Structures are given as structure tokens and as C-alpha cells.
Chain A
Amino acid sequence: MNGIHDMGGMHGMGPVKPEVNEPVFHETWEARVYVLTRAIGALRKWNIDTGRYYIEQIAPADYLRMSYYEKWFTRLVELLVKTGMVTRDEVKTGLPAPGSPKSTPALQPHRVPVVSLDRNIEPSHDPAVRPRFKAGQRVRALNIHPIAHTRLPRYARGKTGKIDRDHGVYNFPDTNADGRGPKRQHVYSVRFAARELWGEQASQRDFVYLDLWDDYLERA
């Protein structure tokens, strides 16, 4: 979707403001939102692409106003409700509905060291899935505007670059995010000249690399 989250190349966002000695979490509730999301995520009720899609569907004005972990909290509530793990009434009251089952075994502490280092990205080596392109080939990112989730940023659409390397096989976010299946395919690092993306104002010595799926690309 052509959402507010797709920010590459936008103007008007001000200077970057690094914070000296920044803590990992600024508030206790931020830490809780993060770990709740990870602990529930470990139950595998939704995949990483669906998770991203639910952040992207936050209305643009809210997206810009909310802090990072407020967005995470909103997503967590929506996905818990969508997957039927909680009801909206339960969220409102903070109390389980009478007689609601305790069906899912929760993430156990002994699994935390594993879970915290493992995002559940499946192995990318799969000889059964053939690549459509190889390193060195010139490709064009399609000029497409999917209404739902996509990982092809607007600023690269219609632009021509060169396959830098083949990363192997990954789930296709556009279909994986909304239940249409993983449609596994090759992902490539594609090197674009900054001038191809931004015109003459860009430095001739600048390049932008994007990781793009087979279905986003055509031969150029």
C-alpha cells in the first residue's frame, strides 16, 4: 500500500536527533509491549509480514503521532483480537471472559534464549525454487502499486538497477501478509545508482541497495 510508512525520499521530517546514552527502553511500558509482542509472537499465530502489515494499516495521522511502541501496542491488540486470542471486551476490561479457555501453552522462560536470537526466518537455501535473475543482470523494479502489504518501496518503482547478489529463497511478503501463502521465491540485492533514483541532484558516487523479490523485477 502507498502508506505513510513508505518514507524513503520524503522531505520535511526534520533533522536526525540522536540521543546521548540512550537507554534500551525509555519507559517500563515500552519494554512490556516489546516483550509481550515477542512472547505472543513465539506462539506463531501470525507471521512477520502480517505483523508489519498491521503497523502499516495504522491511519497516517496516527502513525506520525504515535511513538514506536504505541504503534506496537496498537498492532498487538488488533492481532490478538483478529486471531481470536482475546476479545475486544476483554481488552477493555483487562479481565478474561468467564469460562474462556486457556488453550495455548505460553512461551516458557527456558525458551527465551532461543527465541530472542531466532526470528523464525526459514532457511533460504532451496534448490527447488529457481532464480529468475543472476548477479550482474540489469533489472527494472516494476511500477506497481499493490493496495495491501508490499516491500517494494515507492522510490524504487520503475527504476533500473543491477543484481548485486542472490540472497536465496524467502517468503513473498505481498501474499504472505494476508493469508495468500508464502509463494517462496528468490530475493536479490539490487544496486541502484542514486542518480537513477533521484536525478542529477544526487552524487554520482552514491548507490542504494534494496533487497527485492523476483516478483518485483523484470529484465531491463
Chain B
Amino acid sequence: METSRRGFLAAMSAGLPNEANAGGPQQDHQHQSVPSDISLRVKSLESLLVEKGLVDPAALDALVDTYETKVGPRNGAKIVARAWIDSGYKKRLLSNATAAIAELGFLSTQGEHMLVLENTSKVHNVVVCTLCSCYPWPVLGLPPVWYKSSAYRSRTVIDPRGVLNEFGLDLPEDVEVRVWDSTAELRYLVLPERPPGTDHMDEDTLAGLVTRNSMIGVEKIRLPQPKGDR
């Protein structure tokens, strides 16, 4: 193991092209491995992979389009809104999230395993991946930078209330905080509390209130404040 790991590390540094000559005047470490122009290196790799027939440019474009326009937190918001207005759906969502989400077409029942956690006035759930960046792609899209940051990953498990506080959420001491560290293949979506004063709203309007952060569990949903109220 030790040998292969050393080999790997050697290979790893050898695998960073232009490393030796990437140092411009703005760089203070000669041995730095941040590339001077990663964009060129990525282009070069893409053209190599296309040339070799390993990727199809049309599929790449379709993937970009999928994650920029089709898969994102709007999907999660629709799930939440449906659960708020349809108690039968909510029940299915909490007992078999994968199947209930697939009902709405945001998930294939194969290849992804989901759990939905309900926030209440007594229990607050918040999701993290301390080991990297696990996140429910099909329902929330790709994670924001802060979710993948060292700060969020390191602190959420040891100081959840402190982290939530930075997001503007001050939880009473008697609320139970549950932190879910996504260490396996289960992916978590938080079902936030429906804000008071929304009884008259239809499903689409409700979905419009649901924020990405509330479905990660770092904020509660608030109604938009009337102008001049702040």
C-alpha cells in the first residue's frame, strides 16, 4: 500500500502539466501546483477525449444544459410545496422518499436513494458532508460553494448552532438539532416548516417561497417582508 501510495503521489505531481513553468511573477511559491491557466488545460483534455472517442461533445453540452437549466432547487421546492398541501404525499415522502420523489418525475427510482427529514418547531434537521460534498443532485442541483467549503464541513458537526446562527437562524435551546453527515449513499432533503400566513396560497406560489438553503436546513422559510418593514 505504502509503495503504491508513494507511486501515486509521484504520478500525481508529474500529472500536473506546466507545473514547473507555471510560476509567474504573481506567484510566491516555486513549487505551487495551482495551474496558471486551468481553463487551457481543461480544454486540452476535452479535445483529447473527444479525439479519442471517449466523450461525445453533444452529450457534454446536454449535461451542462441539464445542470444549468433543468436540475436544481426548483425541483426540491416543488416536492416541498406538494408535501405541504397534500398530507398523503407528505406521508409517502417521509416513509419512502425515493419513490415519492420519483412520482413527481425528479428521480429515477434506480440509482439514487433519498431520505426526507421533516423540520418542526421541536426538531431541526441540517445536512452536511464532512468528508466531501455529497448532496442530493436530482432535487437540489449541484451544491453551492459554501456547502463544499472547509468551514461548513468542519464546523457543522461540532458547532451546528453557531453555523446556523451565521445563516441568521437562532434556534431556541429546547429545539433538538439533528445534523446529518452524508457518509454513505443516502442523500438527504430537508422538508422545511410551512410558514404561517400561507394558508391561502396555491402550490406554485408556495413552491416559490421555498429556498435552497431551507432544504439543506440552514434557514427557515420566511414570507417576503412588505416594503419598508426592515
Contacts and interface: CB of A to CB of B under 8 A. Distances in A.
Nearest to A43: B54
Contacts of B163: 16
A136 to B, nearest CB: 17
B219 to A, nearest CB: 10
B192 interface: no
A153 to B, nearest CB: 6
Interface string B205-220: 0000000010000000
Interface residues of B, number: 94
Contacts of B38: 29, 70, 73
Contacts of A80: 49
A121 B111 CA distance: 4
Contacts of B151: 13-17
A127 interface: no
A112 B33 contact: no
B151 to A, nearest CB: 4
Contact of B138 (A24, A112, A117, A123): A117
A211 B131 contact: no
B20 interface: no
Contact of A24 (B48, B67, B157): B67
Interface string A92-105: 10111000101111
A196 to B, nearest CB: 12
Nearest to A205: B176
Interface residues of A, number: 105
A117 B98 CA distance: 12
A137 to B, nearest CB: 18
A85 B15 contact: no
A76 interface: yes
A220 B70 CA distance: 46
B104 interface: no
Contacts of A24: 67-68, 72, 141-142
A220 B77 CA distance: 40
B201 interface: no
B120 interface: no
A215 interface: no
B152 interface: yes
A200 B37 CA distance: 48
A18 B213 contact: yes
Interface string A25-36: 111110111111
A40 B177 CA distance: 39
B169 interface: no
A147 B27 CA distance: 34
A38 B68 CA distance: 15
Contact of A117 (B46, B111, B213): B111
- Which of B108, B110, B157 has the most A CB atoms < 10 Å from its CB? B157
A5 B33 CA distance: 18
Contacts of A13: 149-151, 153-155
A170 B45 contact: no
A117 B108 contact: yes
B53 A112 contact: no
Contacts of A39: 55-56, 59-60, 63
Closest 10 CB pairs between A and B? A118-B111, A8-B130, A211-B184, A94-B44, A102-B53, A35-B63, A10-B154, A112-B62, A13-B150, A29-B39
